[in-house]
Structure 1
Amino acid sequence: MRKRVIFFIIISLIILHATAMGEAIRYDPGLNWQVLESPHFSIYFSMTQNNEQLAQQIADIAEKTYHQVDAQLGSPNKKNHHFQKIAIIMEDFSDYALGFASSFPHRVIRLSLTTPTAKSFDMKFKSWLKMVITHEYTHIEHFDMTAGTVTTALRALFGQILTPNALQPIWSIEGLAVYNETKYTAGGRGIDTRYDMYLRMAALEDRFNTLDQISGYYLTSWPDGTVPYIYGQSLIHFIAQKYGEDKVVAISNIFCEYPYLGFNYAVKRATGLNLDALYQTWKDNLKEKYQLQAQKILSQKKLTISQQLTKYNYWVDFPCWLSTPASEGDKIAVRVSTPHSYPFIQIVDPLSPSLPLTVRSAKNLSQPLVKRVYGSGSFFNISADGSKIIYAKLDDYEQFYKFYDLYFFDLKTEKEIRLSEGLRARDPSWSPDPKNPQIVAVINQSGTNNLALINLHSSNLSINENQRTYKPITKEDMVYLTDFQDGTQLYQPSWSPDGKMIALSAWRQGYQDIYILNLHPDDNLSSNNPNSNNIGNSPLQPIFQDKSIDLSPCWSSDGKYLFFSSDRTGIYNIFAYSLLDKKLYQITNVLGGAFQPAISPDGTQLAFIEYHATGYELHLMEMSPNQWAEVEIEDARCIEPPIMTVAEQQFNTDPKNLNTPSNSDSNSNSKNSYPIHPYHPLTSFWPPTYWIPAAQLTENGLGMGFSTELKDVLGFYSLPLSITYGIINNSLSYNFDYYNYSRLPILNLYLSGNAVLSSPTPWWEEGKSGVNIYFPFKGYTASTTNSRPYSQIFSLGYQYEKFSTTTDTPSSLNTDPQKTTSLKLGYSYSDAEKYGFSISPEQGYSFSLTYEHADKALGGDYTFNKLIFDGRKFIPLPPLHQVLALRLVAGTSSSNISESDLNGEKFKLGGSYSADNLSNTEVNTFSLRGYKPATLEGNNLILTSLEYRFPLANIEHSLKLGPLSIFLERLSGTFFIDIGNAWESYSNSSSININTANKENEINSIWHDFKYSIGAELKADFNSKYDSPFTLRLGAAKALTDPKGYDIYITLGSSF
């Protein structure tokens, strides 16, 4: 038992500390940050964005949630002392919805004000803020739990890094949080029709994911990283229903008391079943439930017959008809998201003999129309004359923001032109009048959407073959058609054929319905809502207002019908509403789900997206109005699913209950007025909230100590530090690495060293200190057809280093430490691109160029120069994910390095090392596979590598190693050639007369001394449940210039 406890302590600290070492979230330092203080929370918000009133509302929601969840998960054993309140950071810096919770170094909830789109999950919640705070605060409470002597004592000893329940499988962690979404908000994903659809099709097609696949965020194949949410919420609901809600909490209580006995122990002790048996019972239960549901559907109506046009096994959406010459027939444009490539817009020909399109056929037979359409939450639209496509991309904006902006793609010139910067516009839709090029688009701000009319003429936009510049859309080009300020969400506006009306899907206070905006108010327009008054000051009028989720409105070509997708039968299907006789018809009848209808220009065909167990695919069916099933309007407004989900049986989700006091937490004004003060980083920077044991092995022996990190809540200041003490020789090792992100450029100060404390001057026996200044920048490559994101960093630095000489030269008899003082310059750039199933970057390039100048005039003992270049180029090959990778490293330094004691500054070539990061002047050791380490040394270096990389298998399963398991994502192979040399050059200051012949001999010698090797590697890509990937390589290399030069090696990381 003692061994298990010790093993648990070591492994949990390593895993949790590694999880915390990801890249810091950096906020705009120019914002005026304020802090609102409620009894249990500190709400961080930007006064620059005028979010004070919203911060008060969030504090009210958070305080109520605190008492709800604390009553559920809290216990006397769990109460741990904290120096600070729970932080909630209000983020309106991205148009991508996000909720995130972290328990260390601070207890923080990152709260996105942007609401997720309806394609992420159903909008069955009264308030997005209430739902996401409930979800994330459940994580905080869950991770804060300890029980019994061991974990409670360890928490008191190590601080907030000791979070036993964070070691649970991710399906359990996320499942509990989603369970509470529904329990405390009468909404959430526990009653989500879309999540229910995912499980139904997995059951009916017998394609359940395995337990190891749902235990982390690491799954790449469908349904990707959402799988622990989908499966977890259902498993937790199943446990609560079958064994009682107290067993859900009991599992966490048992696990956090005995984490070293494993999660299976906790599940079995709480439910009487081991984990595998529980999972199988749950699957059997779902199969029975969904088979009964399928039988009921089939008994009522035949399934819709349609042609499947794609088989990407991921996500195809937003079908849009493209009119072409009559001889070619109409085609369908769709957006394709797949882990095999960047997201793109693809043209699908319904008459093509190569249907359905797959990843391989799309790559080999037809190129994407528009490449890199980043951001999955916005659709695209085609102009009335069929010459242009307009769409939105989720782009980096001013370094700290990620907003949707509008783009044109001209089908004649095949050029892409950007229309806006920082507009936060998505879902653009063309006016049907080709002579009046206007669009409507949804504008996002502070979590509320509004509809804007944009006149493209006023932006003086024109597209020609040579165009590279544009005039961005400005406020003068826009007219707002709505003025919501209450969290309303708008989706997919669609113009009527006559241009007089716009239909859209809107979410308001728990209801997702179809609305119509009449651009000509004098025209009479009525709806089936008995209270069809305008909404506030908005001219939007609802067609229905019920608990059904109604999405993606689309007009018939004659404007008489409005098609849309709805879950009003318990399964998403396509419906049509007649505006003339106010009748509702069901068009499709599917087992999965039917979404996003698109009517062909001649009105004879319906394109739509159908869900299968492997993802969303494009389908096509004939329009047969005589087969439409009329649905009674009154029934449609109150219809129940054929078989209620577990969550709906457990929780009362009738819409009328959404208006009760317990669920009215959305956008009403706060009744409290909590105090506000400016943000002071020091209050959260000190004291540290955790520490972990640290060990360091040096030439002075083994040192033991601690490691921690000081960091403020907003991440403007960071100081990782470690200190170890060597007992045998009374030595001390230390490392401090301070970063200041509070303004640009980024400032870095560092100090590290080793010292024998008995020395007269202990603190600078050996070590280095310095300062770096970084100028980061992100942008997009200048291409009108294939623009890629890139990042670049320019850096300036100063370094002072003290070291002991180790050579046998006479100068080494001086035992005094030597020192170098140098200035450094650096530049790095990368636009390399890789995808979910990539085994390597697949295209683009990256490089770094760094220079170091050491000078006695700066206070050092040496003067020298050092320059190094490291470049990588990745070329995609026609077979999927096969890559030709090239690397060139060239370095040179002053020849006096070789004549001094600066052995550590020489380039060393040989061995098998990893080079995941670009090299700089601090890196002196380079791989030359097949040769022993440091086979070649010198002040000059040339190294080139050519690799052919190819995939072998996508595994996506865990390997069990005793009590541990690691997730093996994929296997790949590599054939490589390495060529390199490191050599000494003659000193220009030498008294030897170097004539031309000697120089020629030197050059000949350099070329003659180049070493060559060939070999092969097997690469395994692993991942942890918190998505912390790592690579293991097994290689064999042959040194071609050495008959005995063979090497077999295993190493972590990529070759480059």
Structure 2
Amino acid sequence: MKPICLSVLFFWLLLSLHAQTFSILEQNPSSIRWNQLQTPHFRIIYPRGLDSIAQYTANLLQTNYVSVSHTLGKQPRKLSVVLQNQTTISNGFVTMFPRHSEFFTTPPQDPTLAGTNNWLGLLSVHEFRHVVQYDKMLTGFTKGAYWIFGNNALGVISLTVPNWFWEGDAVSTETALTSGGRGRIPRFDLEFRTRLLTGSEFSYSKATCRSYKDYIPNHYVSGYFLSSYLRRHHEGDAWGKILTRHYKFPLEPFSFSGAIRKETGMKVEQLYHEAAKELAGLWRNQLNQLNETQATLLPTARNKVMTNYEFPQYLDNTTIICRKSGIGDIETYVSLKKSENGKAVEEKLFTPGIVEFTSHASNPSNGMLSVADNKIVWTEHGFDPRWNMRDYAVIKLYDLSSQKIRRITRRTKLFAPSLSPDGKTILAVEYTAQNQSSLQLLDTQTGQIVQTDLSQWLNEGFNASGHPLFQLPRFSSDGNYITSVILQGNGKNIVLFDLKDKTKQSFPFGDENVSHPVKHGEYIYYNSPFTGIDNIYALHAPTGKKYQVTSRKFGAYNATISPDGKEIAFNDFTPDGFRIATMPNDPSSWKPLEELPNRTVSFYRPLLLQEGEKNLLKMTSHDSYTIKPYSKLANLINPYSWGPVVNSTGSDFFVGISSQDILSTTAIQTGIGYDANQQTASYIGNISYQGLYPVLDLNVSSGSRSGTGYIDNQTKGTDVWRETSVSGGVRLPFTLTHSRFRESLILSAYSDYTQVNDYDLRRGPDEQGNGTLYDMRYGLQYSRLHKQALRDVFPKWGQTLTSQYRHTLPGSDFVGDQYTIQGGLFFPGFAKHHGFLLRGNFKYENVNNKPQNYWFASPTLYVRGQDYYYYSTYYAGVYADYRFPIFYPDWAVGRWLYIQRIKGNLFADYGRLSTGDTSLDLTSIGIDISANFNFMRLLPQLELGFRTVYRPNSGDVIVQPLVIDIGF
């Protein structure tokens, strides 16, 4: 492909950013009032009551501004940062639509995400690095494109840089400029490291584009090692130079790889293989002279792909409860029971709801569960029915005796629940909107927080130490103690609470990323990367002496002790995923900590030297910034994109402005549209206000239209007329998810007005030409879809329903009404990952053969491969699909295509149209063949294919192209 071809692709991609109907935006409750403060480089917008957190964030960002920008050679423009405290998700992001960043203030329980860093401190480095990356685009060709198209141009051009760079460079930066970035955490690279150590290096295409055949570590991991490897062997500003080269003309095919080659002498494929080679050597040296402790892996059901069994908990001495998940399985809780012949019998117990609380696919701690008294408790994601930015962490309980699930709490923010041995009390971490972390005790029957002297005592003495974060608390096996990790300014501590004597004992670990402490007897078992490989350790509480319990070569996690105290079960990582392993609980076999060698691979070490060995989170200033109210009304208009946009067929051209305010209450698009087919222009304006419980929409267009037809059905003529349309209405979106089904409902009502003038192409003298159309339309959209594994082509179970009623109003010069309804049912197929979809629809159109009759466009399905007849009173259709994966080739066609999956879909359709005594039956059967692939190894996955249809009505076969997913 020549550069000019990719330039055409660039302009074509811009069409995706030309919105017709605004989607439901991520919204906070309308009752929240907002403040703001300004620094030289940032504006912090935050909910009232969060002043101290906003001041702290402002100082973090202001302190980090120069250092985080340094190696890319770009100091960004002033940025708005929104603090989101209504959500339980631990995340942050930077977007250009409109340009701003958002920090979700709830910190993760997951120790592999933030490590020993303060959560907001990590976000201030990682997310601001993204800001620097995006502003770096304002050079060369890209800068010119920005002035013409606005942020839409930057969004499209960002696709020419692989995702692994965006996230990998940010992880490298957080690792180099803090003491606890993800590059220092062995769990972060566990899957990648294991793959290289077992001789299973994937190709660059597969490692960066992902796969349905094999589990691929995400682009954060591969990106960290690629970006860090380049900096290890070149100057610290090498990536800045590469980006400068690339953005001079980024639409040249493989410009990014070419820029790497010009700067380093290596193509990107060579960069990947050299990095993998160096890492494999370092990690093999890490395992030299490693004495691996022996453990027994429990047998499981046969799994063809990588599958994880995690978070073991003993139900009794022979039965272990754990979570099962993988690329072929959604999260389920299973029991592994040892039989008399020593083998384990796997039994599925139940499927939980949504259990993840970060935006990352791998989030180990959120699946944590607790088992006691024949009960299982865990935390699930709870949804607000209207406001997407307000959600909850609710505790659920599964009773093994009754085999029923019960929701223990509602509208709470409670994490990492632990059952007391008698099953009567639940211990959990509560995190409030004011960023206060505390331990809470709940009654298992009522779900109510127990306000006692004990619960108050648990939290005494910690809140004064600067917003401590409690992580992963546990009752001891005898119920007399509680253990918890506490992350504070001085790093991590494991705290032991003696519930009988009311004493607390704190064991400091500093920057050692310890997690999952559990007490049995005199020992506290915990996870630690002390030697450079995650393993299980034990702390002797009376003396403070520490020991290594396991020495597994990839990683061991999450110890649990059998009720008789004789056995330890834990997560052991293997090339096939996490397995449950067991070994004797024998303190005499443990190694004292002081005898252990340091096997840490500090791949990031050269980056520290390039950055001057700074820990930015220890250098934060303490300035006080003026706080002012933030007015949503005054900031309603916020243009972020402008200029021309072309649609996918090239027939429509739009010049205008797109606006969306920072808090996502109002989306606006206005401009002039030109239809190349009709050679006419019109004004277009769309606005959606979403700051209230109902979403308010208004769409306006006014301009010329043209057409050619037969006047009075005899004389061919061409006419130009004027048409003005106004549409306004409300939508009520509801999120109803509360189980393993994702459930939503949207109700809508719109009023439409269309005025036609100067129309002279009437087919007959009595046909209505000029005039006014007034109509109303009412809609309902409902879906309830089962969670899907990566390999699933359909939800295993699901139901959908869409209905619309539309009719003209009194005073309209045109008359008509239409009712449509369509439903769908999903069922499992004959093999795993296969699926059935059965759909049916019905349309009624009130036809009275009057000249002023108006035919509304039908929103429902139609028989595939057949011509569309819209002049009918009734239409009823039935459609059957059977979709299935054919195979997972993972084929790379040079550097241009990477094909991940080939899918098939068998279908059969039947429809009947009828008007009066006349009817027409339409049928078709056929097959769709499509491929999921990546173009030019860019991460957005595309799906194209072809459809072969046999039409019994005419006896012919037609072949049609299919565009199923173009990545946006």
The corresponding residue for 1:552 is: 516
CA distance in 2, matches of 1:687, 1:643: 49
Corresponding residue number in structure 2 for 1:663: 617
Who is 1:333 aligned against?
321
Q: What is the aligned partner in structure 1 of residue 716 from structure 2?
A: none
Any conservation in 2 of the 1:342–1:372 contact (CA below 8 Å)? no
Q: Are residue 793 (structure 1) and residue 746 (structure 2) matched?
A: yes
* Aligned equivalent of 1:187: 180
Equivalent residue of 1:367, what SS?
Answer: strand
Whole-Å separation in 1 of the counterparts to 2:338 and 2:16: 50
CA contact (8 A) 1:201 1:591 kept: no
Q: Say yes or no: does 1:372 pair with 2:353.
A: yes
Question: Which of 396, 408, 411 is the equivalent residue of 1:422?
Answer: 411
**TM-score, normalising length from structure 1?**
0.81
CA 1:568–1:730: 2 relative to 1, 3 Å: closer
2:815 pairs with 1:863: yes
Give the match's secondary structure for 2:412: coil
Equivalent residue number for residue 292 of structure 1: 285
Q: Any idea what the Cα deviations from partners look like across 1:809-844, whole Å, max 9, x if unmatched?
A: 4434x6x43432111211121112342222123211
Alpha-carbon contact 1:430-1:495 (below 8 Å) kept? yes
Specify which of 730, 738, 742 is matched with residue 691 of structure 2. 742
Shift of 1:228: 1.2
> Contact 1:807–1:903 (CA<8 Å) still a contact in 2?
no
Q: CA RMSD in A?
A: 3.5
| Structure 1 residues 896-927: Cα deviation after superposition (integer angstroms, max 9, x where no partner) | 2x54465743xxxxxxxxxxxxxxxx535743
Partner residue, 1:44: 45
Aligned residues: 928
Cα drift, residue 185 of structure 1? 2.3
Letter of the 2:953 partner, please give it: T
Partner residue in 1 for 2:67: 68
Q: In the TM superposition, what is the alpha-carbon distance from 1:728 to its structure 2 partner?
A: 10
Alpha-carbon distance between aligned partners in 1 of 2:114 and 2:938, rounded to the nearest angstrom:
25
Separation in structure 2 between the aligned mates of residue 954 and residue 684 of structure 1, nearest angstrom: 48
Tell whether 2:590 aligns with 1:628. yes
**Residue aligning to 2:863:** 928
Work out whether 1:498 is the aligned partner of 2:475: no
Picking from 264, 288, 302, the partner of 1:271 is 264
CA distance in 1, matches of 2:676, 2:885: 49
State the match for 2:950 in structure 1. Answer: 1038
2:925 to 990, 999, 1014: 1014
> Quick one: distance in 2 between partners of 1:653 and 1:426?
39
Q: Does 2:960 correspond to 1:1049?
A: yes
- Contiguous gaps of at least 5 residues in structure 2: 357-362, 708-718
Partner residue, 2:763? 808
Alpha-carbon distance, 1:91 to partner? 0.9
- 1:841 maps to 2:785: no
CA displacement 1:689-726 (0-9 Å, x = unmatched)? 4334335979xxx5644244111111100013452346
Conserved? CA contact 2:382–2:391, under 8 Å: yes
Q: Which residue identity is paired with 2:104?
A: S
Can you list the C-alpha shifts for 1:369-417, whole angstroms capped at 9, x where unaligned?
343352254355555432x222211111353222211112122222211
Contact between 2:430 and 2:437, CA under 8 Å: does it hold in 1?
Answer: yes
Deviation larger for 406-415 or 204-213: 204-213
2:151 is aligned with 1:168: no
1:353-392 paired onto structure 2 within 5 Å: 366-372=347-353, 374-375=355-356, 377-379=365-367, 381-382=369-370, 384-386=372-374, 388-392=375-379
Where structure 1 has 5 or more consecutive residues not aligned to the other structure, the ranges are 324-328, 462-470, 524-538, 906-921, 986-1001
3-state secondary structure, aligned to 1:25? coil
- CA displacement at 1:738 relative to structure 2: 1.1
Cα distance, 1:937 vs structure 2: 4.4
Q: Secondary structure at the match of 1:279?
A: helix
Q: For 2:274, what is the secondary structure of its paired residue?
A: helix
Deviation digits for residues 617-666 of structure 1, max 9, x if unmatched? 3222333444322333xx77xx7x32432213542799xx99x7x43267
**Which letter does structure 1 place at the counterpart of 2:578?**
Y
Q: Where in structure 2 are the equivalents of 1:861-900 lying within 5 Å?
A: 861-877=813-829, 879-896=831-848, 898-900=849-851
Q: Secondary structure at the match of 2:195?
A: helix
Classify the secondary structure of the residue corresponding to 1:405: strand
Q: Does 1:145 align with 2:136?
A: yes
Q: 2:881 matched to which residue of 1?
A: 947
Match of 1:773 in 2: 730
Identify the match of residue 645 of structure 1 among 585, 593, 602: 602
- Matching residue's letter, 2:27: R
* Deviation, structure 1 residue 749: 0.6
* Higher share in strand: 2
Is 2:442 the partner of 1:452?
no
Moved more, 60-69 or 262-271: 60-69
TM-score, normalising length: structure 2: 0.88
Alpha-carbon contact 2:793-2:833 (below 8 Å) kept: yes
Cα shift readout 1:213-244 (whole Å, capped 9, x = no counterpart): 4546x6667756x6211111111111111122
1:519-540 CA distances to partner (integer Å, 9 max, x unpaired)? 23466xxxxxxxxxxxxxxx4x
Deviations 1:104-131 (A, max 9, x none): 2332111011223335436132x32122
Partner residue, 2:711: none
Cα distance in 2 for partners of 1:19, 1:958 equals: 36
Using a 3 Å threshold, how does the CA distance of structure 1 residues 926 and 849 change in structure 2: closer, same or farther?
closer
Instruction: Map 1:610-629 onto structure 2 (within 5 A).
Output: 610-629=572-591
Q: 1:370 to 1:881 in 2, by over 3 A?
A: closer
1:409 maps to which residue? 398
Q: Deviations over 1:529-558 (max 9, x none)?
A: xxxxxxxxxx4x3234243222112233xx
**Residue 482 (structure 1) aligned to one of 433, 439, 459:** 459
Q: Of residues 480, 496, 499 in structure 2, which corresponds to 1:516?
A: 496
Counterpart of 1:535 in structure 2 is: none
Q: Could you tell me how far apart the structure 1 residues matched to 2:482 and 2:179 are?
A: 32
Amino acid at match of 1:748: D
Specify which of 656, 659, 669 is matched with residue 720 of structure 1.
Answer: 669
2 CA distance for matches of 1:870 and 1:208?
Answer: 48
**Superposed displacement of residue 887, structure 1:** 0.2
Task: Work out which of the residue numbers 630, 634, 651 in structure 2 matches 1:678.
Answer: 630
Matched residues in 1 for 2:952 and 2:793: separation? 28
Write the mapping of 1:1019-1030 to structure 2, written as runs, cut at 5 A. Answer: 1019-1022=930-933
SS of the residue corresponding to residue 162 of structure 1 reads helix
1:883 Cα offset (Å): 1.2
Distance 2:798 2:760 in 1: 42
For the 8 Å contact 1:405–1:423, the answer to whether it is kept is yes
Contact 1:166 1:173 in 2 (8 A): no
Q: Aligned ranges for residues 313-328 of structure 1 at < 5 Å?
A: 313-323=306-316
**Counterpart of 1:994?**
none
Matches of 1:894 and 1:776, distance apart in 2: 30
Secondary structure, counterpart of 1:427 in structure 2: strand
Please give the secondary structure, in 1, of the residue aligned with 2:786: coil
Q: Retained in 2: the 8 A contact 1:219–1:956? A: yes
**Of 942, 962, 973, which aligns to 2:904?**
973
What is the rounded CA distance, in whole Å, between the counterparts of 2:21 and 2:94 in structure 1? 12
Distance 1:160 1:372, change over 3 A: closer
Equivalent in the alignment of 1:345: 333
Question: 1:771/1:684 Cα in 2 relative to 1: closer, same or farther (>3 Å)?
Answer: closer
Match of 2:680 among 715, 731, 734: 731
Residues 542-581 of structure 1 correspond to what in structure 2 (within 5 A)? 542-556=506-520, 559-581=521-543
Larger RCO: Structure 1 or Structure 2 (Cα < 8 Å, ≥ 6 residues apart)? 2
